[in-house]
Amino acid sequence: MIYGKLWTVVKPTVGIPIFIAAVAIASFSVHLALTLNTTWVKAFLNGKAATAAVVVHMPIDSA
Amino acid sequence: MSDRVGPSGLTDAQSEEIHRHLIQGTQIFAMIAVLAHLLAYIYSPWLK
């Protein structure tokens, strides 16, 4: 298996917690950003009905 | 060959065994994540 001998160099007691922590921090950051920047995550957590993404129509020449 | 001990104190065989479990765990995590994203997209599609 590719990289299978990694743990002969890195102690698993050090490397695996770092690996899991990196995944957890990255995942938490993305979900926090979604919660802070969208309406539908907050709506879902508050038990609201599904809210689809709102499409804002803007004429091309209005900018 | 698999009796060779590296700096971490593990043999090649032990390292390969740990790695196999780590890869399997990552694959299961990914499958659950894909399912969660599919459900979230069905609930509320983004970038439409």
- Evaluate whether residue B1 is within a structural domain: no
Residues of A in contact with B46 (CB under 8 A): 38, 53
Domain boundaries in chain A? 4-62
Residues of B in contact with A51 (CB under 8 A): 44
Domain count, chain B: 1
- Evaluate whether residue B3 is within a structural domain: no
Smallest Cα distance from A59 to chain B, Å: 17
pLDDT (tens digit per residue) in B27-37: 999 999 999 99
Q: Whole-prediction pTM value?
A: 0.74
For residue B7, the one-letter residue type is: P
Distance (Å, whole) CA A53 – CA A5? 46
Residue that is written with structure tokens 């539908």 in the block: A40
Residue-range definition of the domain harbouring residue B17: 9-48
The DSSP letter of residue A39 is: S
pLDDT (tens digit per residue) in B5-48: 999 999 999 999 999 999 999 999 999 999 999 998 898 787 76
